[in-house]
Amino acid sequence: MDAALQLSIISAHMDHISPAPSVSAVALERRDPFRILLSTLISLRTRDEVTLAASRRLFTFADTPEALAEADPDEIARLIYPCGFYTVKAERIRKISRIIRDEHRGAVPASFTGLLALPGVGRKTAALTLALGFQIPAVCVDIHVHRISNRLGWVSTHTPEETEYALMELLEQGRWMEVNEALVRFGQIICTPGRPRCSVCPLSDRCPKTGVTSSR
């Protein structure tokens, strides 16, 4: 059973599980790259439900680079509280808004290099923004996707970045969105780091690591 088939099984399985309040749910309320970028930024070190609520509060207050460039960082921080790093994130949001306003004519950059140049934006955030905001092929390799890819033997890499490149080669065109949507959620709910819920995993009989109790 190869990676492509396993990914299909995971996708199908996650589709019929109770809907998760995923970050993409917030982001996809509108196909707005700026909202998606900010939601993804806010989601760092923060549970989905908190991210969801914080994003809604922020976007009700302001959802354009022009407005947030001039917003008081303390006000932004108050809106996104109690997300982790909320003061740091508030500063980042203002800086990013200013850069987009001043250097990109108010439009979120639609390229990896453009996004990576923004403060607080790395490969994971950039990939999600490209994939969800612009429908540009990109895999979001967060800690979950990295762990699962190694657990299932799809890749044998040691950094998320290596996994990202390996997955892009391994998967056919079009599968990147399944990674971004289903695999991330699979990692949050079932194939968790410490005590994976192998009893409800559709791949448990085929997984080389069934029953693992460590993050490897």
Binding residues vs DNA (CB under 7 A)? 44-45, 47, 50, 81-82, 84-88, 116, 118-126, 142-144, 159-160, 188, 192-194, 215
| Identity of the residue, 25 or 206, whose beta carbon is nearer to DNA in the bound complex | 25
| Identity of the residue, 11 or 43, whose beta carbon is nearer to DNA in the bound complex | 43
Distance, CA of 13 to CA of 204 (rounded, Å): 13
User: Taking the CB of residue 15, how many other CB atoms lie within 10 A of it?
Assistant: 11
| Identity of the residue, 8 or 81, whose beta carbon is nearer to DNA in the bound complex | 81
CB of 210 to DNA, least distance (A): 18
Q: What is the 3-state secondary structure (H, E, C) of 125-190?
A: HHHHHHHHHHCCCCCCCCHHHHHHHHHCCCCCCCCHHHHHHHHHHHCCCCCHHHHHHHHHHHHHHC
CB of 34 to DNA, least distance (A): 16
CB of 96 to DNA, least distance (A): 10
| Identity of the residue, 12 or 74, whose beta carbon is nearer to DNA in the bound complex | 74
| Identity of the residue, 21 or 206, whose beta carbon is nearer to DNA in the bound complex | 21
Residues sharing a CB contact under 8 Å with residue 199, sequence separation 6 or more, in sequence order: none
CB of 49 to DNA, least distance (A): 9
Contact (CB, 8 A) for 172 and 5: no
CB of 40 to DNA, least distance (A): 8
| Identity of the residue, 119 or 153, whose beta carbon is nearer to DNA in the bound complex | 119
Contact (CB, 8 A) for 203 and 9: yes
CB of 84 to DNA, least distance (A): 4
User: For the purposes of burial, counting CB atoms within 10 Å of the CB of 182, is it exposed (0-12), middle (13-18) or buried (19 or more)?
Assistant: buried
In 8-161, beta strands by DSSP E: none
